[in-house]
Copies of this chain bind each other. A is one copy, B any other.
């Protein structure tokens, strides 16, 4: 029951929202109620037409150290309840982030393990501090990763890194996760939040409908790369949109576009 998902509007126009994972004393470990809250928060954000970017972070110097293991004896040893937990509660929260129609910037400090790695894998831009550590050492806890979660993580960290994390319980530092393509930027620990905020603000200033179309296209193609016909249907409906005219007009006028 412990822990919360905080959601704060960061600007008067509703363009930028901060989502913060909070479970004091547990490195923001995800409890079952937090997974449900996570889904509820992102389900609401998905309905807000003015939203342009979501910034996700953890409180108190850590992103998220995993699941809240103190709850596990209550439900994990029964396969039906276990399936419900992973397929509905965990995947409900993760998929809500993935389905977010606007760019998601993830700011990662300290521990980013298990559930934390999975939440970070759902984002679009990932910024971490040099001291951040990554892994999914659940082989120490005696259980495998659920299929959907393993696919999500493997696509984000790469298959070789997923194997190392799951089969050897390896923990990897931020510079290694940058080299392996998971992180977009690694900065001093003190600069993580300001760097991620800078990324979010750049996104807010860019064309918002284009961002929503790009998110949809990239997500659909990552899931089923061979099926383009459905995507192409309607792909050019934006032709007469104001932001399209403004972007090209501003370029030709040699001025900054205002979206």
Contacts and interface: CB of A to CB of B under 8 A. Distances in A.
Given A143-B238, A147-B231, A169-B202, A77 B218 contact: no
What copy number does this chain have within its complex? Answer: 3
Name, among A69, A148, A160, the residue most crowded by chain B CB atoms within 10 Å (CB to CB): A160
A10 interface: no
A215 B160 contact: no
Interface string A216-258: 0110011111101001100111111101111111011000010
Nearest to A234: B79
Contacts of A247: 138, 140-143
Contacts of A244: 76-77, 141-143
Interface in A116-157: 124-126, 138-148, 150-151, 154-156
A158 interface: yes
Q: How large is the interface on A (under 10, 10 to 19, 20 to 34, 35 or more residues)?
A: 35 or more
Contact of A163 (B77, B159, B218): B218
A239 to B, nearest CB: 4
Contacts of A160: 126, 156, 181-182, 184
Dominant SS at the A interface?
helix
Contact of A151 (B69, B181, B210, B228): B228
A203 interface: yes
Given A69-B248, A151-B228, A211 B139 contact: yes
Contact of A199 (B168, B180, B232): B168
Contact of A214 (B139, B213, B243): B139
Given A154-B221, A162-B218, A232 B147 contact: yes
A221 B155 CA distance: 10
A25 interface: no
Given A77-B245, A238-B143, A252 B150 contact: no
Interface stretch (A16-24, A43-51, A80-88): A80-88
